[in-house]
Amino acid sequence: MSKFQRTHAALFDELERQGIVHADVGRLTRAVLAATDLVAAYEGDRLSGLRLAPAGRCVNGACDG
C-alpha cells in the first residue's frame, strides 16, 4: 500500500468517525503529503532559503508575533 493510500485511508476513517461526510479526502490527502514533504525538506535543510514566520497568537483577529 502506497503512502498516499495509507494516508487517504487514515483520513477517510477519521473523518467518517467524526461524522464529516462532505469532504474531498483526496485533495486533503494531497495537501497533507505536500506539507509533510515540505517540512521534511526544511528539516533536512534542503530548502535553506525557506524562512518560516514565527507562530503568533491570534485573538479576535488581532495577532502578536
Between 38 and 53, whose confidence is greater?
38
Parse the chain into domains and list their residue ranges.
3-48
**pLDDT for res 23:** 93
Nearest one of 57, 52, 29 to 39, comparing CA atoms: 52
Give the 3-state DSSP-derived string for the chain, with helices as H, strands as E and coil as C: CCHHHHHHHHHHHHHHHCCCCCCCHHHHHHHHHHHHHHHHHHHCCCCCCCCCCCCCEEECCEEEC
4-8, 41-45, 57-61 — most confident range: 4-8
